[in-house]
Amino acid sequence: MTMKKIISTDLAPKAIGPYSQATEANGTIYISGQLPINPKTGEMPSDIQAQTRQALENTKAILESQGLTMENIVKATVLLDKIEDFGAMNEVYAEFFPTNPPARAAFEVANLPKAALVEIESIAAR
């Protein structure tokens, strides 16, 4: 039987709905889409690069709460408000994955919660 562990840290934004920041099952960590919300202030930066950085910092905080790093991510999905922001997002994204980046998909979507420009969900493995 698969045991599910709920993961939560104060170093990333609290879930704003009926979901967890992340869950773990059988050594795989499923990180919910991270909006670019600063967990200390509740604010979002205004530009795509700062928003990408904040979303990835939130992801990093969740992983670190479990003794993991960004190197543990095996798959990421990037949701963009405008696909035109892909290049600027990618520049910041590359800083977090300088070697051996995970598999990834990126999509333009109609809208994101709280009018964010980017949301990033990830899957990591122990």
| pLDDT score, position 16 | 80
Let me know how many helices (H) and strands (E) the chain has, helices first.
Answer: 2, 6
pLDDT averaged over the chain?
96
pLDDT in tens, 2-50: 689 999 999 999 988 899 999 999 999 999 999 999 999 999 999 999 9
Q: How far apart are CA 100 and CA 28, in angstroms?
A: 18
> Considering its fold, how many domains does the chain have in total?
1
| pLDDT score, position 94 | 97
Domain of 90 in residue numbering reads as 4-125
pTM assigned to the model: 0.95
Q: Residue 56 sits in a domain of what CATH number?
A: 3.30.1330.40
Q: How far apart are CA 104 and CA 106, in angstroms?
A: 7
Q: Under a CB-based contact definition with an 8 Å cutoff, are residues 24 and 5 in contact?
A: yes
Residue 65 has pLDDT above 90, yes or no: yes
